[in-house]
Structure 1
Amino acid sequence: MQGASEPIHWWQTRWFVALATLIACVPLLYPDIAPIVDLPGHMGRYRVQLDRGAHPWLADWYKFEWSLIGNLGVDLLIEPLAPLIGLEPAVKLIVTAIPALTVAGLLLIAREVHGRVPPTALFALPLAYGYPFQFGFVNFALSMALALCLFALWLRMARRGAIVARAIVFVPLSCLLWVVHTFGWGVLGVLAFSAEMIRQHDRRKTRESGHWIESWVRAGLGCVPLALPMVLMVAWRSGADVTGQTADFFYWRTKIAWVLMALRDRWLWFDVASMAVIYLVLFKAARDPRIAYSRHLGLSALFILAVYILLPRIVFGSAYADMRLAPFLLAFAIIAIRPRMGATIRHAAIWATLGLAFFLVRIGAQTVSYARFDRDYKVELAALDHVPVGARLLSFVGHNCRNTWKMSRLEHLPALALERRLAYTDDQWSMAGGQLLTTRYEAAGGFAHDPTQLVTPGRCRGEWWRPVNYALARFPRAAFDYVWLIRPPRFDPRFMPDLTLVWRSPYSNSALYRVDRSIAPPVATDEQLGIPRYIVEFMRRRREALIRSGAIGR
């Protein structure tokens, strides 16, 4: 910890922490809707949440019931904000706050542990826009941002000796954090336990033996105020309607991939180079005699690493559970670094300048990236001007079997038809106990919910995404009024004779069609659609297996 007598440098001042927090908001200021993958889908759910009583057809299509689950962060904030400023501005305000809170939390933790913000901590700030945030896991991201800020408060109250007050305050705070998202509460518990271990050990380090075991026990007792949400967790997961499997342990290839692409966004070369900078900082810190590691944050990083290794890919039906931790694991490894006592100001200033440059370059690139994705959104959303309010809309979004670096961010764009036009869309998640909303539109059959909106040129091995020709030929005509193709792969018009063109994008191959029931629908065999019978049977069996496991709803 730096001495209080040392002068405060520019990167350690309160105004810099405030400025860095504001800079983190910049990429999200221009887009009307943050172009992160799952967010439009969540916005569709928010519309049903807010307006289901005013529009009876929404209740015919979707079942929405409030329940106490560990995944309600943005859903609850929308309730007071949307009536005041509108749904889309409310979502933008909340989502914009997430990277800001993340940056503030990292800097506050670094200041509490080191006494001053170390110059190397600036290299961790771009991780606020890590890969999980790009996926649109907004409740998770909000809970992690809050967990960082609450951990800083936990450390501050311990430093001031307010242990009893901390215990009282963190009982309700831990429950609120669990409601935002279970993941944030769990991570706060891991961080608090690691910090308590060090604190208890330092208080008893003069004893010759047994102090580590005693420190573990006392650290556990110190974290008891965080334990009440365990009761809520048991009540949630033991509900009669709860589904969702936990599976895919120890997928080493993907675990290694997540930590190598924690900054994945648009440009492969740029994002990989940015990750190389982070790993170079960690490597340099390990070899530079002028740099040391904090025991507090070093142990926290090791604990997070252990959780990352042990976490499966799917937890309670939510995919990418382990991936979500990767940016935070790296962030804690970075903020654990600090200059040793006696290091020159010039040496520290160089690190701070390079860290600030890295942060600003990443923020600038993220701003450009989001502006370009926003342009794509505006191009495609022009179709909604031709969709009547309350229409039954089936959407097919072009996808591919390759895991391309730049995700299109269009995967859940159809949900904005639900949000803006109160139309039925087939991209909502339907998992009892995991979301407040499930689909109930039985006429849609196998085209009712996510991921039926994704179509591919051909069958993808190990997936049940439908080939585009198969989807166009086989969807239930009686259940839908319109079909919205969003940058679909090449398809055969023979399989859509009863679809009348309503709108076509001048900038892409997207189009909106009306279902004309006066024209006979196509009659095509699986062979004509290029789908062997054994593949159709495979897709049917895989879908049923996913339903039985709880990975998807019916």
Structure 2
Amino acid sequence: MAAPFPLLIDLPAHVARYHVERNLPFTPELSRFFTYSWRYLPNLGVDLSVAFLSQWMNVETAARLVAATIPPIGAAGMLWLGYRLHGRITATTLLSLPLNYAYPLIFGFVNSCLAVSLSFVVCAGWLTLEQRGRTRWSAVLLAVAAPVIITAHMIGYGVMGLMIAGVAAGQAIRRGHPALEVLKTVALKALPLSWPLILLLFWRNDQTGTAGRWFDFALDARWLLMILRERHNAFDIASAGLLYGAALLPLLVRHRFASDLRALVPAILLWICVFLMPSQIVGSEFAAVRLIAPALALSLLAVRESKPLPRWVWGAAFAFVLLRLIVSTVTFVDVSQKADRELALLDRVRSGSRVVAIWLTDCRRDWEPPRYSHLGAFATVRRNALVNGHFMSSGQQLMALVPNADDALTAAPSMISAEPCERLGQKDSAADIVRRLPWRHIDYLWLIDIGDLPLPLPIAARQIATTGQSRLLRVDPDVSIKPQE
């Protein structure tokens, strides 16, 4: 909450969708460009939360509030689950907390992150009831929570299912049950989770059967390395290495540490999914990477101390968590303040305009995430504008374009490099991309971090405002739009 706005990579495009949902019925400028149709999707956690809160506040504030609650919810679930497993908060339980700021959240996958955070709370509550012998109430909890989490995001629902099944299996194995009895126990305990699958019958998705990038272990290895990626690569990689090392303590230091099967079994199930799931599934990109953080968190929660550890170890774990939180907060504040300065240019944009926003990045893979790649979506939020870079894939989003609403404009890339870049799928130079922009359909061109890069702008494009390395240009429809060489 310290930052002006939590600039998660994809979040601005999501906030634009929330804005359209809230304001479309009484905003003619939006109705020129967009349609919005509520229907069931297993991807609505933050959408529904913002729709509810925006009755009392604007969508930016509502989205900021909901996004800010995701890490605390996940942290509460991890601490609670760790306490129920071990009877106290262990050092490795503390070490799981930075995973609530893992790269899926930085990427802006807010629906799936919310669903995964809630799944930890539900699992901890379920285990609490099970330990107290209130098995009927534990089944009721799962039956009530399941439709909530599957609606929030299907990946969170899958994580919750694997957690409940894994905890039940680990508990049965600990008690010495034979394999068939373990399977029977798992089936009975997980049964209350199954009924919301009926909701998927109402999900119309053209990409339901699609999946891509199977068994890309090189990509998986990169994601493992980048799980805490924020800004400082040495610190982020070392932090990830510390967590992986702590999770392996039962193997590395067997005389001091053991594994609690109630957390280890679901962790193993999730790790199997990390490496066997495709990167793209049913329209969701980076599906496997979203499972790394909960898998690693459960691996840490599984670590049980065979002998009491010195207090300084617990203190060191607390200091590490605090340091990660401070660094994350400073980074959020810095990038959000820069975004605020960029967004000041939108004060010069006429409401209901057509805007192309392009962020210039380096073709080299920087450690710093591409935080500003969807910043242009705020043109919709603050100026009711049509802008490129929205998410409107068939079957995956509730917002769509009206027929023939400047498709060429919305297809323009929101992130480019100066020269052709294979990593970005960019075959042409920035100059060629700008030259081919649909100038007759553009009212404003917003060049973010463009610096002094020479571009073939038409005479009709007149610079009206600058900030830092960015420029805002007004395109005059009455002047020649032929690009200058």
Report TM bin, short chain.
over 0.9
> Displacement of 1:394 after TM fit?
1.3
> 2:295 is matched with which residue: 314, 323, 329?
329
Deviations 1:51-98 (A, max 9, x none): 000112322312211011100011101122112132222112111111
* 8 Å Cα contact 1:264-1:271 kept in structure 2: yes
2:385 to 420, 423, 435: 423
How far apart are residue 488 of structure 1 and its match? 2.6
For 1:177 and 1:348, locate their aligned partners in 2 and report how far apart those are by CA, in whole Å: 39
- Alignment partner of 1:403 is 2:365: yes
Q: Structure 2 CA distance, aligned partners of 1:476 and 1:32?
A: 33
Which residue does 1:265 correspond to in 2?
A: 230
For residues 457 and 68 of structure 2, what CA distance do their matches in structure 1 show? 43
| Counterpart-to-counterpart distance in 2, 1:440 and 1:403 | 36
Q: What is the alpha-carbon distance in structure 2 between the residues aligned to residue 404 and residue 324 of structure 1? A: 21
Given that 1:339 and 1:348 are in contact with CA atoms closer than 8 Å, whether structure 2 keeps it comes out as: no
| Inter-partner Cα distance in structure 1 for 2:164 and 2:36 | 36
Q: Which one of 389, 393, 416 corresponds to residue 455 of structure 1? A: 416
Structure 2 CA distance, aligned partners of 1:160 and 1:246?
A: 42
> Are the equivalent residues in 2 in contact too, given 1:102–1:128 (CA < 8 A)?
yes
Q: 1:439 to 1:422 in 2, by over 3 A?
A: same
Alpha-carbon distance between aligned partners in 1 of 2:95 and 2:149, rounded to the nearest angstrom: 27
Deviation at residue 333 of structure 1 after TM alignment: 1.0
Partner of 2:53: 81
CA distance in structure 2 between the partners assigned to 1:240 and 1:367 by the alignment? 37
Residue 536 (structure 1) aligns with = none
Partner of 2:92: 120
Is the contact made by 1:261 and 1:272 (CA closer than 8 Å) also made in structure 2? Answer: yes
Q: CA deviation at 1:440?
A: 3.3
1:243–1:431 CA contact under 8 A, matched in 2: no
Aligned to 2:32: 60
In 2, the alpha carbon distance for the partners of 1:97 and 1:197 equals 31
Q: Distance in 2 between matches of 1:34 and 1:268?
A: 20
2:318 to 356, 379, 386: 356
Deviations 1:503-536 (A, max 9, x none): 111x22x111111223222268xxx8xxxxxxxx
Q: Supply the distance in 2 between the matched residues of 1:348 and 1:175 (Cα, whole angstroms).
A: 43
2:176, 2:296 → 1: CA distance? 30
The answer to whether the Cα contact below 8 Å between 1:194 and 1:303 also exists between their aligned partners in 2 is yes
Matched, 1:139 2:133: no
Deviation (angstroms), 1:185: 0.7
Q: Which residue of 2 aligns with 1:317?
A: 283
Cα distance change of structure 1 residues 459 and 234 upon mapping to structure 2, 3 Å threshold: farther
Q: What is the rounded CA distance, in whole Å, between the counterparts of 2:202 and 2:451 in structure 1?
A: 45
> RMSD of aligned C-alpha atoms?
2.0
CA distance in 2, matches of 1:475, 1:232: 42
Deviations for 1:170-190, whole angstroms, at most 9, x for unmatched residues? 222101110011111111000
Secondary structure of the structure 2 residue equivalent to 1:223: helix
* Cα distance in structure 2, aligned partners of 1:137 and 1:196: 29
* Count of paired positions: 483
CA distance change for structure 1 residues 242 and 65 in 2, over 3 Å: closer, same or farther? Answer: farther
Contact 1:457 1:490 in 2 (8 A): no
Residue pair 1:121, 1:334 contacting (<8 A) in 2 also: yes
> What's the CA shift for 1:244?
7.6
User: Per-residue deviation at 1:441?
Assistant: 6.0
Indicate yes or no: 2:477 matched with 1:517: yes
2:123 corresponds, among 151, 167, 178, to: 151
User: Distance in 2 between the 1:518 and 1:86 partners?
Assistant: 36
Are 2:240 and 1:275 equivalent residues in the alignment? yes
Match of 2:271 in 1: 305
Instruction: Give the percent of matched residue pairs that are identical in Structure 1 and Structure 2.
Output: 28
Q: Which has the larger radius of gyration?
A: 1
Equivalent positions of 1:76-225 (< 5 A) are 76-203=48-175, 205=177, 211-225=178-192
Give matches, 1:359-374, under 5 Å.
359-374=321-336
Report the Cα offset of residue 471 of structure 1.
2.6
Q: Are the structure 2 counterparts of residues 305 and 241 from structure 1 closer, same or farther at C-alpha, using a change threshold of 3 Å?
A: closer
The yes-or-no answer on 1:480 pairing with 2:447 is: no
5+ residue gaps in structure 2? none
Q: Tell me the SS of whatever aligns to 2:284.
A: coil
Per mean C-alpha deviation after superposition, the further-off stretch among 452-461 and 314-323 is 452-461
Segments of 5+ residues of structure 1 without an aligned counterpart are 1-28, 206-210, 529-554
1:440 and 2:405 equivalent?
no
Residue 207 of structure 2 corresponds to residue 231 of structure 1: no
Of residues 29, 33, 36, the one that matches 2:8 is 36
Q: In the alignment, what sits opposite 1:8?
A: none
Q: Deviations over 1:131-167 (max 9, x none)?
A: 1111011111100110010010111111112222222
Q: Is the 8 A contact 2:29 2:351 kept in 1?
A: no
Indicate if the aligned counterparts of 1:120 and 1:351 stay in contact, CA closer than 8 A: no
SS in 1 for 2:375: coil
TM-score, normalization by structure 2 = 0.95
Residue by residue, what CA displacement relative to the aligned partner does 1:266-306 show, whole Å, maximum 9, x if unpaired?
01111112122223323444333122211111111111111
Contact 2:119 2:160 in 1 (8 A): yes
CA distance in 2 between partners of 1:176 and 1:336 (Å): 27
Give SS of 1:388's match: coil
State the TM-score, normalizing by the size of structure 1. 0.83
State the Cα distance separating 1:353 from its structure 2 match.
0.7
Contact 2:226 2:237 in 1 (8 A): yes
